[in-house]
Amino acid sequence: MILHNRVSAEELKQRLAAETFSRITISFYQYAHIEDPRALRDQLYEGLFKLSVFGRIYVAQEGINAQISAPHFHEEALRDFLYSFAFMNGMRLNKAVDDDGKSFWVLKIKVRDKIVADGITDPSFNILERGRYLDAASFNEITSDPDTVIVDMRNHYEYEVGHFQDAIEIPSDTFRDQLPMSVDMLQDKKDKHIVMYCTGGIRCEKASAYLLHNGFKNVYHLEGGIIEYTNKAKAQGLPNKFLGKNFVFDARLGERIGPDIISHCHQCGKPCDTHTNCINDGCHLLFLQCEECAKKYEGCCSSECQEILHLPEEEQKAMRAGVDKGNLIFNKAKARLRPRLNEIRAAAQEKGNG
C-alpha cells in the first residue's frame, strides 16, 4: 500500500464536495514516549486511510497531535482503531463545536521533532509533570475569583477574535517565544492561581508544565481547551465565559461559540471576525475582512495586492519567483497591519466613549 497521497488537491476537493454523507471534525493529542515515530506514522496512515479519514497529524517521540475529519458512520470504528494503541487508549476526542464537515480533504501524517515546537532544550524538563486539569465547572468556579490569573496560550490572531473574559494575552509570534515570555510576565503573580488555556489543550498543557519547571506552584490548565469547555458547558447548562469566536487551523478558520463579535475588519474597522487569506498568490496573508471590504478589495489584504492581482499571470509568477512566503497563511498579520489595527481600536474606543 502507498502510504501517502498521490491525488491532486483539486480532485480531492471535488470528491469531498460529491460526498453524500456527513463528516465529523475531531481533534486529539496525547503526550507519551514514542519509540519509533516513523513506524507509528505508517500504521496510522494505513488504518485511517481505510476509514476515509482526512486531516493533519503530527507524530514525534513526545506524542501525537491531530486534527481530522471522518465519516459519521465510522466514528465508532475510528475510536476503536485509535484506542487499539496502548498510549491512546481512553484518550479524549474533541468534537468540533461548529462543524460543516468540510474541514479537510486529504490525509497528511508527518513525523516531527516535537508535536508542539517549544524551543525547550533543558533535558530535565518533563512534560508529564504538568499543571492540574480543570473541567468546565471547575474552570468557571476558579475564574470567578478576581485574584485568579487567566492566561491565553494561543497566537495573536486567535486571541483577537475570541478569548475568555479577563484573559491575559502573551503577545508573541510563536509558542516557542510565548513560553519564556509567560514566565517573565507572570513573575509577580507566582502566589496566585494561574489558569492556562488554548484551543484543544495541547499548548496549555505543555505551558503549565513549563511554569512548574520554572518554580510556579498553583498552575492549572483547561482540560480539552476551548473546544471541550464549550461542549461541556452546553451539555451541563453552565454559563459560557468565552467571548467571540474560536479560531481553528483548518478550512473553517473558526468556530462560532457565541453571538458576540469582539474584533474588527483590518481594513475598515467594522465589527468582524471572519478570517481569510489574501487572494494574491504572492501574499496569502491571514487577516480579518468584512463582506464589504472583500468586495472592494476583491479578497486582497491591500490595494497593492489588488493591483498585483490584475497583472498578467506570467508577470505575477515572475514577481513570486524566489519569494518564500514562510508561514504567512497563519501569520499574525501583526507586524504588517499593527498601525492600522491601532487606528481601528482607537476609533472604536472613542466611539464607545462618545
- The answer for residues whose C-beta is within 8 angstroms of residue 164's C-beta and 6 or more apart is 143, 150, 152, 197, 241, 242, 243
Q: Buried (b) or exposed (e) across 195-223, using 16+ Cβ within 10 A?
A: bbbbbbbbbbbbbbbbbbbbebebbbbbb
186, exposed or middle or buried, with CB in 10 Å at 0-12, 13-18, 19+?
Answer: buried
The pLDDT of residue 340 is 46
- Please, what are the averages of pLDDT over each run of 10 residues along the chain (354 residues)? 80 88 93 95 96 95 94 96 97 83 89 92 91 96 96 92 94 88 94 94 94 95 93 94 86 81 94 92 90 96 91 85 51 46 50 49
CATH topology classification for 132-244: Oxidized Rhodanese; domain 1 (3.40.250)
The pLDDT of residue 315 is 86
The pLDDT of residue 96 is 82
What is the CATH number assigned to the segment(s) 20-111?
A: 3.30.70.100
The reported pTM is: 0.77
Q: Please report, for residues 93, 227, 288, the alpha-carbon distance to residue 257 in angstroms, rounded to integers and kept in the order given.
A: 19, 9, 17
Which amino acid belongs to residue 2? I
* Three-state DSSP class for residue 113: coil
How far apart are the C-alpha atoms of 351 and 334, rounded to whole Å?
23
Q: Is 198 a catalytic residue?
A: yes
Task: DSSP letter for 353, please.
Answer: H
- Report yes or no: 306 and 319 within 8 Å, Cβ to Cβ: no
Find the catalytic residue in 198, 265, 290, 293. 198
Q: How many helices (H) and strands (E) does the chain have?
A: 12, 15
- The answer for residues whose C-beta is within 8 angstroms of residue 43's C-beta and 6 or more apart is none
- Report yes or no: 125 and 210 within 8 Å, Cβ to Cβ: yes
Examine domains 20-111 and 132-244 and report if their fold is the same: no
107: part of which helix (H) or strand (E)?
Answer: strand 107-111
**Domain locations in the chain as residue ranges:** 20-111, 132-244, 263-353
The pLDDT of residue 13 is 86
